[in-house]
Amino acid sequence: MADESMQTPDEGSDLIEPDDQIPVRIDSLEADGVRPSVGDTVTIRVEGTVKEIRDDCVYVTPEKINDTDLNEILAESGNQGDEEDMLREMSSEADQAGMPVGGGY
């Protein structure tokens, strides 16, 4: 039986919403020297540490985005004051990515 003390990604109210945003350094998104524009689709890589595993759900604390330390990104974007909320949102987004940590099946 699953432990009810921690919500799984599809049960929580703190899941990332379609309009939520996370800061990413623009130079890490360049393709062939071209920076993205508003409306472009991009792919980012979030690196973190597995903090807990419950049933088939892995909970990861993000540490880097596209090889840049999260604290550095937050300092540049002015979002240092509420780092815990940003980490929670990023973790939720990673949970919703659909591919398990480690590659696939």
Share of the chain above pLDDT 70, in %: 57
pTM of the model: 0.53
pLDDT in the model for residue 36: 92
Judged by average pLDDT, the poorest of 8-17, 24-33, 42-51, 75-84 is 8-17
**pLDDT of residue 103 exceeding 70:** no
Residue closest to 47 by CA, chosen among 25, 64, 33, 60: 64
Give mean pLDDT, residues 22-28. Answer: 84
d(CA 59, CA 16): 14
